[in-house]
């Protein structure tokens, strides 16, 4: 059995250093509680650009540009060492960390942002970096397309971990790629929430016969900084729940074992046993006895990203 922790706390929006500090505090708290795997939300550093759902690219182009400039300035450049504090925290506490981030590459000019999630090992090494394959709807005004270089699973002390970001979980072939890699712990950082999303995660647990960790984004109007460009126009009500969170843990039989953590800031803990995955696949193994390789075939083109840069600490 392994203790896992899903951090459901708001970012310090558009402030990389302050958000990293909040992440480090949360990781230390989870470590003190005995967590071996800690999950932080989608684009946690320096925060999800929630304004994209409230602006029109043409009509609000100037404001969109101001916000994007700040997001880019506070994005994470892995090659520059921006994740070093989080890697050191993983090493110091001896735990695995999954963290969502806005990623940029200053060495290549830094113009493109990616919606990425990283997996940091208990020795502080960066084990994987996955970029969201297809930004969803207005996210395409912010993020570039990812590739399949990080579409894989990684062995960790809590089990074989794979990640898909938000609506990537609605891409059947992307899910199947993780199933084919033997995923035991399917981590889904997301900006989605609500009953429909929870039903999706339960379906994935049943389909893949794996543990599913839904890491939700928590954001209230009062969490938006006063100096955010266009704040009064975009988020006038400090009491508004912009995103409800709804972090959840689901077992390989599709049962909710922790959460959903709804409209609440905190840490969701659960005990996870990866040895329950194989027995659950006795009845349904979509990449094993329940597959039909004589009929179906999946090919994944794992074109390496031009800037895969793993940093060992």
- CA 17, 19, 119, 78 dihedral sign is negative
Pinpoint the alpha helices (H) of 167-292. 172-180, 195-208, 231-234, 277-280
Instruction: Judge whether 166 counts as a catalytic residue.
Output: yes
Strand extents, DSSP E, the chain: 2-8, 37-39, 96-103, 114-120, 126-131, 154-156, 159-163, 185-190, 211-216, 218-220, 241-250, 256-262, 266-272
Q: Of the candidates 14, 10, 13, 4, which has an alpha carbon nearest to the alpha carbon of residue 25?
A: 10
Residue tagged active-site, from 36, 99, 105, 132 = 132
Pinpoint the alpha helices (H) of the chain. 16-32, 61-73, 84-93, 172-180, 195-208, 231-234, 277-280
Q: Around Cβ 297, how many Cβ atoms within 10 Å?
A: 7
Residue tagged active-site, from 36, 99, 104, 166 = 166
| Token pair for 128 | 């994987």
Rounded to whole angstroms, the Cα distance separating 6 from 26 reads 10
Phi-psi region of 17 (alpha: psi -120 to 50; beta: other; left: phi over 0): alpha
Q: Of the candidates 168, 184, 260, 172, which has an alpha carbon nearest to the alpha carbon of residue 215?
A: 260
The b/e string for 112-138 (b: 16+ C-beta within 10 A; e otherwise) is ebbbbbbbbbbebebbbbbbbbbbbeb
Residue tagged active-site, from 36, 42, 105, 168 = 42
Instruction: Judge whether 132 counts as a catalytic residue.
Output: yes
Beta bridge mates, 250: 212, 256
| Token pair for 246 | 């709804």
Task: Please give the positions annotated as active site.
Answer: 42, 132, 166
């Amino acid at each position: 059995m392994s203790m896992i922790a899903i951090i459901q706390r708001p970012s310090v929006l558009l402030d990389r250093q302050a958000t990293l500090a909040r992440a480090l505090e949360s990781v230390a708290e989870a470590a003190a509680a005995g967590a071996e795997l800690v999950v932080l939300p989608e684009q946690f550093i320096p925060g999800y650009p929630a304004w994209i759902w409230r602006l029109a690219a043409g009509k609000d182009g100037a404001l969109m540009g101001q916000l994007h400039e700040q997001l880019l300035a506070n994005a994470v450049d892995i090659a520059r060492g921006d994740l070093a504090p989080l890697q050191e925290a993983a090493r110091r506490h001896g735990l695995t960390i999954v963290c969502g981030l806005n990623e940029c590459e200053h060495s290549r000019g830094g113009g493109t942002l990616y919606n990425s999630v990283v997996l940091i090992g208990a020795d502080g090494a960066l084990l994987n970096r996955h970029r969201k394959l297809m930004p969803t709807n207005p996210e395409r005004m912010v993020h570039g397309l990812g590739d399949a270089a990080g579409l894989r699973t990684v062995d960790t002390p809590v089990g074989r971990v794979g990640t898909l970001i938000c609506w990537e979980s609605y891409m059947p072939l992307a899910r199947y790629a993780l199933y084919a890699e033997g995923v035991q712990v399917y981590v889904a950082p997301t900006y989605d929430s609500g009953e429909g999303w929870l039903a999706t995660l339960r379906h994935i647990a049943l389909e893949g016969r794996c543990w599913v960790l839904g890491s939700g984004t928590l954001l209230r109007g009062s969490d938006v900084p006063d100096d955010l460009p266009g704040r009064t126009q975009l988020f006038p009500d400090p009491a508004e729940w912009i995103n409800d969170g709804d972090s959840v843990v689901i077992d390989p039989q599709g049962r909710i074992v922790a959460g959903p953590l709804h409209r609440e800031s905190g840490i969701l803990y659960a005990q996870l046993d990866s040895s329950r995955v194989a027995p659950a696949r006795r009845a349904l193994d979509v990449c094993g006895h329940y597959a039909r390789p004589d009929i179906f075939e999946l090919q994944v083109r794992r074109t390496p990203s031009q800037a895969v840069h793993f940093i060992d600490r």
